[in-house]
Amino acid sequence: MEVRIGIQNSPRELGFESAESPAAVQKTVADAIEKGASHFSLTDENGRLYLVPTATLAYVEVGSERTRRVGFVA
């Protein structure tokens, strides 16, 4: 599933593929904001860890889980 995160005053967004479910990503972000945490962390499919500051968080876009299509589509 694709995750895209926007940071305030940054021209680029953070984007990666995550093995976590959309509900798990939503819960992680919501819990960090509600508790006033300075950051939250997410991992991508390759095991890389991303630390995201909550103070400058602009948006979090969570894509749907879908399988890749193989072959040619007419």
Residue 74 has pLDDT above 60, yes or no: no
Using 50, 70 and 90 to split pLDDT, how confident is the model at 66? low
Q: Tokens at residue 51, please?
A: 């630390």
Cα distances (Å, whole numbers) of residue 67 to 2, 14, 56, 70:
12, 22, 32, 9
pLDDT digits 0-9 by tens, 29-63: 999 999 999 999 999 999 999 999 999 999 999 98
pLDDT at 56: 93
Condensed to tens digits (0 to 9), the pLDDT of residues 18-30 reads 989 999 999 999 9
Which residue, among 22, 28, 24, has the nearest Cα to 2 in the 3D structure? 22
pTM for this entry? 0.79
